């Protein structure tokens, strides 16, 4: 379970102090939570803080009982490796590694033996329908395929928390639908935190958090279409 | 897919840049190996020669220690007589006054090195194992015996005249078999004839042969006490002196090769720095996925070390080939292999190349591992 308490992030821009996020308090339950809001509302800042990629000016993030914001850089890296998976908007695959090697990368960090890494990576790629593309470099894959590789990579160590930042932002309609299906399927058994502009995508989550001006405006439970 | 594999994949992804950097390190290492191989070659040639010299002690004028024979003969007949008496009293087997004379120019093809021998002293007493291929081994009063390589190089044959001065002309009486040492490039001539050429009765050195039961160091010190103004050196002392001199020259040559090494190091640093700059986002992704700072640091340092190691091994091989080529030339010209790539030089070159890689990789690795994840990911 991931909990944010009075999460605040301020930074200086020249002489001016900018408040990117202020007093955000929320406990993320299992299932999909979408975070929506206009540009500059603090969505990316919030995700950075929740994932321990950045540190808050005030408040804290708790991973179960672990205060993520009090850990060192390397301890936060280890926490991310063990507990979190990421799917970014820009795919962010390692360009010199093939699809299966990209998926196996977190397993390498976790110290898995080579044969197990390969088997797990190939199984995950099969799960996202890319077993035929396992040995291709990222530049030989389409945008949708790259995003599915990124999802497989995020799931490599079966993390309880999955972050997705605009995961369908760069995809065409068909690839977007494929990706959304896979993402929400993966999010069923874990805490999925989805940052998006896309209200249609957000509506598929179990709850939506609306941010504006760095503040949590409201929480909404979308009406499901029967 | 281990860390090393990641390094390799990254270097192969930018083949031209990696190859050019590799060549830079390779050439820098090869030039260092070649520079230092001269010291190793000289060391090896010198020690081989000294180990072939028969007499255990060489007496030379004070101030010319280390040079087995002084450039100009300074030991007077009185000093030679005093040495003979002292050496006999100390149980020496033979006392051989000698001197060297060089004739010719800078061109090795036209250079002649004479060693003077007293009457009745055969060259094989000084260089054990020498044998005549043609003619005689012991030159007569007006004769000379020529080393194998010198004869081959200059075309001297038995019966050839050797004009040393208007007054002194010798006749070649023997050609020696090749021994692989200094004697191959010498002409052995009567001591008196060489003294006449130089217009002196002095000699350059006195060689003292001992029986195996005598301790050379003790006899040498006793000789110095008996005849002031002279320095008696054992073979070991000459070797130690030569080693000191060679070390200084090694340092000078290493200093020169440092310029090439610095250029090679900067090339590696530049390549790795460029690579770090281009891969900032990639490192950010790795960190976001759970890589610790040390992982990124190792990745970058290993890249620099790998380039340096490959360049070092290649440079060593190239230096070795160049050293062989130089030896082919110097052996044909002066009969000596002046360059040697010894195991310790090889090890030193590899260590220097690796240190270079490490130094060149440290700063980029530090930078790569310290960049904040959100900045690296462009998520600020």
What pLDDT does residue B318 have? 95
- Report chain A residues whose CB lies below 8 A from the CB of B285: 88, 92-94
- Report chain B residues whose CB lies below 8 A from the CB of A74: 292-294
pLDDT tens, residue by residue, B68-109? 555 678 899 999 999 899 888 888 888 899 998 887 765 666
Contact call for A94 and B295, based on CB within 8 A: no
Residue A164 contacts residue A190 (beta carbons within 8 Å):
no
Contact call for B377 and A53, based on CB within 8 A: yes
Residue in chain A closest to B8 (alpha carbons) equals A96
Domain contains A146: yes
What is the Cα–Cα distance from B149 to B336, expressed in whole angstroms?
Answer: 10
For the cut 90, the answer to whether the pLDDT of residue A179 exceeds it is no
**B6–chain A Cβ distance below 8 A for any pair:** yes
pLDDT tens, residue by residue, B168-177? 899 999 999 9
Range of the domain at A175: 29-44+72-206
What pLDDT does residue B71 have? 61
Contact call for B1 and A108, based on CB within 8 A: yes
B288 → closest Cβ in A44, A53, A114 = A53
- Report chain A residues whose CB lies below 8 A from the CB of B9: 96-97
Domain contains A97: yes
pLDDT tens, residue by residue, B338-370? 888 999 999 999 998 899 888 888 988 998 898
What is the Cα–Cα distance from A23 to B261, expressed in whole angstroms?
Answer: 57
Instruction: Name residue, tokens 């030089």.
Output: B345
Both tokens assigned to A213: 């001006």
> What is the least distance, in Å, from the CA of A73 to any CA of chain B?
8
As a whole number of Å, the end-to-end CA separation of chain B is: 31
Coil, helix or strand at residue A34: strand
Domain contains A106: yes
What pLDDT does residue A226 have? 54
Residue B45 contacts residue B337 (beta carbons within 8 Å):
yes
Domain contains A166: yes
What pLDDT does residue B171 have? 93
Residue in chain B closest to A110 (alpha carbons) equals B290
pLDDT tens, residue by residue, B35-64? 889 888 888 877 777 766 667 788 888 877
What is the Cα–Cα distance from B60 to B83, expressed in whole angstroms?
Answer: 11
Band of the pLDDT at A208, cuts 50, 70, 90? very high
A80 → closest Cβ in B10, B13, B288 = B288
pLDDT tens, residue by residue, A42-89? 999 999 999 999 999 999 999 988 999 999 999 999 999 999 999 987
**B370–chain A Cβ distance below 8 A for any pair:** no
Residue A29 contacts residue A17 (beta carbons within 8 Å):
no
For B211, other C-beta atoms within 10 Å of its C-beta total: 9
- 3-state SS, B245-298, equals HHHHHHHHHHHHHHHHHHHHHHHHHHHHHHHHHHCHHHHHHHHHHCCCHHHHHH
Domain count, chain A: 1
The secondary element (H helix, E strand) that includes residue B190 is strand B186-190
> What is the least distance, in Å, from the CA of B375 to any CA of chain A?
10
Band of the pLDDT at B276, cuts 50, 70, 90? confident
Quick one: average pLDDT of A101-112? Answer: 95
Expressed in percent and rounded to 5, the helix, strand and coil fractions of chain B are 60, 15, 25
> What is the least distance, in Å, from the CA of B287 to any CA of chain A?
7
Closest CA to B204 of B288, B115, B302: B115
Q: Which residues of A16-42 are buried (b: 16+ CB within 10 A; e: fewer)?
A: eeebbbbebebebeeebbbbbbeeebb
Band of the pLDDT at A91, cuts 50, 70, 90? low
- Report chain B residues whose CB lies below 8 A from the CB of A96: 6, 9-10, 12-13
Band of the pLDDT at B377, cuts 50, 70, 90? confident
For the cut 60, the answer to whether the pLDDT of residue B135 exceeds it is yes
- Report chain A residues whose CB lies below 8 A from the CB of B289: 80-81, 86, 105-106, 109, 153
Contact call for B379 and A44, based on CB within 8 A: yes
Handedness of CA A169, A172, A173, A179 (dihedral sign): negative
For the cut 90, the answer to whether the pLDDT of residue A97 exceeds it is yes
Both tokens assigned to A144: 């949708």
Please indicate whether residue A152 or residue A179 has the higher confidence score (pLDDT): A152
Classify residue A21 by its DSSP letter.
E
Q: Phi and psi at residue A73, in whole multiples of 5°?
A: -55, -50
- Report chain B residues whose CB lies below 8 A from the CB of A117: 1
pLDDT tens, residue by residue, B176-197? 998 877 788 889 999 999 999 9
Classify residue B184 by its DSSP letter.
G
Domain contains A19: no
Domain contains A49: no
A92 → closest Cβ in B1, B285, B293 = B285
For the cut 70, the answer to whether the pLDDT of residue A115 exceeds it is yes
Domain contains A177: yes
Domain contains A18: no
- Report chain B residues whose CB lies below 8 A from the CB of A98: none
**B290–chain A Cβ distance below 8 A for any pair:** yes
B374 → closest Cβ in A54, A82, A95 = A54
What pLDDT does residue A40 have? 86
Q: What is the CATH number of the domain that holds A98?
A: 3.40.50.300
A96 → closest Cβ in B10, B285, B295 = B10
Q: Phi and psi at residue A217, in whole multiples of 5°?
A: -80, -50
Q: Could you tell me whether strands B230-234 and B57-61 are parallel, antiparallel, or unpaired per DSSP bridges?
A: antiparallel
A86 → closest Cβ in B12, B13, B289 = B289
Which percentage of chain B shows pLDDT scores above 70?
94
Residue in chain A closest to B295 (alpha carbons) equals A109
């Amino acid at each position: 379970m991931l909990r944010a308490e009075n999460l605040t992030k301020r930074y200086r821009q020249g002489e001016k102090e900018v408040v990117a996020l202020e007093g955000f308090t929320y406990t993320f339950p299992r299932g999909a939570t979408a975070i929506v809001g206009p540009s500059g509302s603090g969505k990316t800042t919030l995700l950075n803080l929740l994932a321990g990629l950045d540190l808050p000016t005030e408040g804290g993030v708790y991973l179960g009982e672990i205060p993520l914001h009090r850990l060192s850089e390397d301890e936060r890296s280890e926490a991310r490796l063990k507990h979190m998976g990421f799917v970014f908007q820009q795919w962010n695959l390692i360009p010199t590694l093939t699809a299966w090697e990209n998926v196996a990368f977190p397993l390498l960090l976790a110290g898995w033996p080579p044969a197990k890494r390969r088997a797990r990576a190939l199984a995950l790629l099969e799960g996202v329908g890319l077993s035929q593309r396992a040995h291709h470099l990222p530049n030989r894959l389409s945008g949708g395929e790259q995003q599915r590789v990124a999802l497989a990579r995020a799931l490599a160590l079966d993390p309880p928390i999955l972050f997705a930042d605009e995961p369908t932002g760069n995809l065409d309609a068909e690839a977007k639908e494929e990706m959304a299906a896979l993402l929400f399927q993966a999010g069923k058994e874990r805490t999925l935190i989805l940052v998006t502009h896309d209200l249609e995508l957000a509506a598929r989550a179990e709850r939506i958090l609306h941010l504006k001006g760095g503040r949590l405006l409201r929480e909404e439970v979308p009406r499901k279409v029967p | 897919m281990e860390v090393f594999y990641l390094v390799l994949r990254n270097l192969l992804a930018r083949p031209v840049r990696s190859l050019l950097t590799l060549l830079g390190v390779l050439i820098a290492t090869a030039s260092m190996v070649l520079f230092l191989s001269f010291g190793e070659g000289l060391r090896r040639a010198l020690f081989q020669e000294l180990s072939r010299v028969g007499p255990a002690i060489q007496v030379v004028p004070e101030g010319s220690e280390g040079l087995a024979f002084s450039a100009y003969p300074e030991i007077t007949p009185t000093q030679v007589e005093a040495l003979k008496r002292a050496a006999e009293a100390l149980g020496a087997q033979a006392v051989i006054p000698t001197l060297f004379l060089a004739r010719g120019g800078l061109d090795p093809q036209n250079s002649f090195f004479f060693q003077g021998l007293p009457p009745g002293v055969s060259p094989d007493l000084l260089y054990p194992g020498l044998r005549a291929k043609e003619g005689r081994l012991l030159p007569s009063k007006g004769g000379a015996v020529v080393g194998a390589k010198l004869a081959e190089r200059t075309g001297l044959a038995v019966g050839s005249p050797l004009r040393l001065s208007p007054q002194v002309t010798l006749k070649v009486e023997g050609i020696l078999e090749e021994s692989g040492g200094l004697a191959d490039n010498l002409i052995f001539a009567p001591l008196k004839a060489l003294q006449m050429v130089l217009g002196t009765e002095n000699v350059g050195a006195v060689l003292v042969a001992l029986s195996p039961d005598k301790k050379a160091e003790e006899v040498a010190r006793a000789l110095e006490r008996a005849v002031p103004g002279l320095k008696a050196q054992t073979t070991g002392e000459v070797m130690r002196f030569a080693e000191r001199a060679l070390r200084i020259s090694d340092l000078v040559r290493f200093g020169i090769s440092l310029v090439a090494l610095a250029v090679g190091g900067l090339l590696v640093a530049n390549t790795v720095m460029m690579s770090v700059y281009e891969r900032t986002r990639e490192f950010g992704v790795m960190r976001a996925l759970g890589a610790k700072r040390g992982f990124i640091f190792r990745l970058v340092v290993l890249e620099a070390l790998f380039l340096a190691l490959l360049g070092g091994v290649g440079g060593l091989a190239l230096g070795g080939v160049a050293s062989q080529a130089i030896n082919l030339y110097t052996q044909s010209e002066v009969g000596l292999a002046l360059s040697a790539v010894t195991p310790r030089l090889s090890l030193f070159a590899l260590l220097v190349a690796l240190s270079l890689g490490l130094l060149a990789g440290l700063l980029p690795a530090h930078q790569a591992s310290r960049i904040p994840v959100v900045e690296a990911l462009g998520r600020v």
